[in-house]
Amino acid sequence: MGTAITAIFLTAFITGANAPFEHPAGQKKTDQSDNMAELGPLMARIKTNPQDVDALISLAEVFSRSKDWQKSEHFWSKVVELDPKNIGAHYHRGFTLVQLKRYDEAIAEYEFVLQAEPDSLHALYYLGVINKYGLEKPDVAKKFFQQALTLKSENRELVMDIEKELAETGK
């Protein structure tokens, strides 16, 4: 089951289903050498100013792209600590916690997102996925999937994924 939940979250990460965090145009890089080239200057910025939220976010993104979930979680946690209202940071910290199989903490992050944005289709979807695959609670998962489907969304691909998960969970 852990493999299934990881595959779902990684697919979502790669395809952009983790989109609630805004990136300036052109900022996202996927090449591993680009990721490593970014580390030195970013770490220098953090050394100079440990509260440089933009540098911390960039570091968290670099480690997420390289799938170094421990370091990614460290930096997302720092961002959340310095900027507790940053919904994107909570969202991505939740995503990272799922990769680390720390489901209860991930749930807390997505619940935080839902408190700030009750219509967050992504948060409801991920809460369903965590409960279905990570915690093996299909009845709880079903409630999140059903709640997600009550929202109006232009994201047809995600809606189809939710419908598929709900069908597999048993309506």
| pLDDT tens figures, 119-137 | 999 999 999 999 999 999 9
* 132: in domain: yes
Question: CATH no. for residue 35?
Answer: 1.25.40.10
Distance CA(92)–CA(122), nearest Å, equals 11
* 26: in domain: no
**Residues near 104 by Cβ (< 8 Å), separated by ≥ 6?**
none
pLDDT given at position 170: 74
* 19: in domain: no
Tokens found for residue 96: 């990272």
Residue 90: is its pLDDT beyond 80? yes
Residue 21 DSSP one-character state: S
* 50: in domain: yes
Helix axes 53-65, 69-82, angle to 10 degrees: 160
Q: Is the dihedral angle over the CA atoms 32, 38, 40, 43 positive or is it negative?
A: negative
pLDDT given at position 81: 98
Provide the number of structural domains found in the chain.
1
Q: Is the dihedral angle over the CA atoms 71, 114, 16, 170 positive or is it negative?
A: positive
* 129: in domain: yes
pLDDT given at position 38: 85
Q: Is 31 helix (H, G, I), strand (E, B) or coil?
A: coil
Mean pLDDT value across residues 95-118: 97
pLDDT given at position 33: 65
Domain hosting residue 147, numbered range: 2-14+31-169
Amino acid in the structure at residue 13: F
* 109: in domain: yes
Q: What would the pLDDT profile of 50-86 be if each residue is shown by its tens digit?
A: 999 999 999 999 999 999 999 999 999 999 999 999 9
- The candidate with the shortest Cα–Cα distance to 140, out of 128, 150, 151, is 128
* 20: in domain: no
Mean pLDDT value across residues 25-49: 74
Could you tell me the pTM of the whole model?
0.80
